[in-house]
Structure 1
């Protein structure tokens, strides 16, 4: 039984460090939760394209769990008076363009990674999601809930800082901060590659962080076992 669980989660990114992340998780016998969007990769493809499909299948076979991050990494920007939302994608054909979406539009976007994941792996995602950038509103969360999705954020101490400037937040600082502040029950957030960070986080921090947390008596669990999401993760299927 895991007495002091923490929940390591990864959002997609440019994917250059993805094989390294898998190596560390395998070596450390850690299962993680991945939130999937089809983000632009270093090689010019997408993180959910056919190049990466065997990798996601491999991870699913290893016992990791998966949830939606919107297909085109779509940011909520604002609620509108008529009940719709202003959004902007950071991937896909409408990258960088402001759009106006209904609740139904947003639900369709949440379901696209679910469908793609099933194509790639033959398995089902959890009925959970993480909004791009973690940006939500009560209205957006309500819209997602009405089509079967529960939002998963992260803990303040679980923000591992791989999105931050490496000049201002060097890897050693981020490692020491995480080991000092993380507590049992925290949800940890990292990414499979951040374009703007010059000194990549994962090669320097991921394995020392896992080892250090283990030494402090922590263990790693997937988000479907978290008390706040255990029930939502067992929903039989997403609503049509």
Structure 2
């Protein structure tokens, strides 16, 4: 082989190796954050999805059958194609309890029993006492529906509405295969707060200032009570701003606190 040809091949090899090393460095996530998204009225869902695709960000969705602006619920057939598209993009899914069931208290009983109040569905607004099995059934109902509409098995995780739990409730959920996921203090993005006193500008500045590596962030697919919607107004600026500060986005499948649990229960 001619010396010039050998030199050219050697240069190409070095360039290829350097490119591979650079790509690996770019994909390494040294400052991860975990954006989680709960269901809501779904009015911002299409725009939310557009931002995630444009920014190449994967999130973990926690879904309940919540009332929507399309006169149905967020897990009905109207939204099935939307959920399936999010699965195809590599997002993850988990239960938010099917009827968006709030824990209200523990019963004083030998077997775990809980005072609960669904905020959605036929029994919305009424308070009941449920056994651990009944609570687990409602977690599983949302998970099963997600599996049906996405074609992807949800993570063995759940988020209690409002983040309201007790040690007994968490133990009961774990016994039926679900670990609970809350959110970090700085990860509360404020989209449930009144826009009259918490403007999008204020919430964005606060998040960019306070979020730290490892934080679990919380947003929603539409909040009925907020007059000036947080998403998509703050969503893309937040993602861009965090990327500029060296943060990268991962799903809860990659979270160090949940990786082992997911591997053992998937």
TM interval, short-chain normalised: over 0.9
The one of the two structures with greater contact order (alpha-carbon pairs below 8 A, sep at least 6) is: 1
1:69 aligns with 2:91: no
241, 255, 260: which one aligns with 1:226: 255
Counterpart of 1:133 in structure 2 is: 162
Counterpart of 1:13 in structure 2 is: 40
1:172 aligns with 2:201: yes
Correspondence 1:55-94 to 2 at 5 A? 55-82=82-109, 83-94=112-123
Residue by residue over 1:217-239, the C-alpha shift from the partner in whole angstroms, topping out at 9 and shown as x without a partner, is 000000110111111122344xx
- Whether contact under 8 Å (1:128, 1:232) holds in the other structure is no
Residue by residue over 1:55-106, the C-alpha shift from the partner in whole angstroms, topping out at 9 and shown as x without a partner, is 1011001100000100010000000102310000111000111111000000
Residue by residue over 1:9-53, the C-alpha shift from the partner in whole angstroms, topping out at 9 and shown as x without a partner, is 000000000001000000000000000100000121000000001
* Structure 1: segments with no counterpart, 5+ residues: none
- Whether contact under 8 Å (1:74, 1:132) holds in the other structure is yes
Looking at structure 2, the residues matched to 47 and 20 of structure 1 have their Cα atoms a distance apart, in angstroms, of 15
Normalised by the length of structure 1, the TM-score is 0.97
In the TM superposition, residue 122 of structure 1 has moved relative to its aligned partner by 2.2
Q: The residue matched to 1:86 in structure 2 has which SS?
A: strand
Larger Rg: 2
Moved more, 116-125 or 131-140: 116-125
Structure number with higher helix proportion: 2
Looking at structure 2, the residues matched to 223 and 115 of structure 1 have their Cα atoms a distance apart, in angstroms, of 19
- Whether contact under 8 Å (2:177, 2:265) holds in the other structure is no
* Structure 2: segments with no counterpart, 5+ residues: 1-27
Cα RMSD over matched residues? 0.7
In the TM superposition, residue 115 of structure 1 has moved relative to its aligned partner by 1.1
118, 136, 140: which one aligns with 1:111: 140
Residue by residue over 1:148-178, the C-alpha shift from the partner in whole angstroms, topping out at 9 and shown as x without a partner, is 0000000000000000010110100000000
Runs of 4+ in 1 over 6 A off after TM superposition: none
Looking at structure 2, the residues matched to 198 and 184 of structure 1 have their Cα atoms a distance apart, in angstroms, of 31
- Whether contact under 8 Å (1:65, 1:222) holds in the other structure is yes
Q: The residue matched to 2:78 in structure 1 has which SS?
A: coil
In the TM superposition, residue 138 of structure 1 has moved relative to its aligned partner by 0.2
1:54 aligns with 2:90: no
Normalised by the length of structure 2, the TM-score is 0.88
Q: The residue matched to 1:235 in structure 2 has which SS?
A: helix
